[in-house]
Amino acid sequence: MKPGVLVISHGSREAEWVQLVDEAVAAAAASLPLAGIPVYSSFLEIVEGRLIQDGIDELERQGVTDMLVIPLFVSSGSTHVDEIGQAFGLPWVSDLEGDLGTFRVEAKVHYGLPINDDPEIAELLATHAEDLSTEPAKEALLLIGHGSKEDVFHQRWELGLKQLSEQLRKLGGYARADYAMLLPDQAAMKLAGMQAEHPEEAVIVVPLFLSQGYFTNHVIPTRLAGLDYRYNGRAMLPHPAIERWLERQMTDWLKAGS
């Protein structure tokens, strides 16, 4: 048996986005207690030569027989997480068929979980909100994630957002916290509702995205145009909490197999 790890994230045309992911994966791999475990950072789309099948092929070229696949995505509600699972031959979560086909893979595959409501990631997000906070007891948080219109995925997004927002409220001592999805378009309605119900509370908006880009820089500000809120657009990367999360997934799997 030779273990190896395939980390899969979405991919982007922005070189900095790809670099931030690669650096986090490399840092996690370097922290593994066992030396020589092959770890490959791959992408669902866009990054040619670094796609999922490329990663599978490279790990198997290095002799990997047991492969941990880590979906570096924010939520189990992401249709991409199910799409990737389908392509590895796992049962479908819904009737929504992905377009990846079936991967060529000889190794035994263990498919991990995305970030969801991980407590250390909640602490990371809490530091982003703290930078905008002056008097938490008189402030509220609005956590905004991508979301989904598909029933089963919508429910998963909702569960994760609800649990994360409550963790953030407790960590920062805020008066209240709520959450919204961009798909369906809930953000402006949720923010306006919070302000109407508690006009005395300033609202801090926290984006739930792996890396800064189109959604944090453009979509969220556009959706909330004309409303009063505090926002710095900070995403999860770069931050050592992501590296530690990746390392934990790898280490726990290696220990379970030893």
Q: Could you tell me the domains of the chain?
A: 3-115+239-257 (3.40.50.1400), 119-223 (3.40.50)
On the question of a cis peptide bond just before residue 238, with omega within 30 degrees of 0, the verdict is yes
The pTM is what? 0.90
DSSP string for 74-96? S-TT-HHHHHHHHHTTPPPSSS-
For residue 40, list its beta bridge partners: 6
Return the structure tokens found at 127.
């530091």
CA distance from start to end of the chain: 10
The beta strand positions in the chain, using DSSP E, are 3-9, 39-43, 66-71, 108-111, 139-145, 176-181, 202-207
pLDDT tens digits, the chain, 258 residues: what are they?
Answer: 899 999 999 988 888 889 999 999 999 999 887 778 999 999 998 888 999 999 999 999 999 999 999 999 999 999 999 999 999 998 877 777 778 789 999 999 999 999 999 999 999 999 999 999 999 999 999 999 999 999 999 999 999 999 999 999 999 999 999 999 999 999 999 999 999 999 999 999 999 999 988 899 999 999 999 999 999 999 999 999 999 999 999 999 998 875
Contacts of 59 (CB under 8 A, 6+ apart): 4, 6, 38, 40, 67, 107
Instruction: Return the number of other C-beta atoms located less than 10 Å from residue 105's C-beta.
Output: 20
Task: Report DSSP state, residue 128.
Answer: H
CA–CA gap between residue 13 and residue 33 (Å, rounded): 33
* Calpha distance 193→91 (Å, rounded): 39
Structure tokens at 238: 């770069």
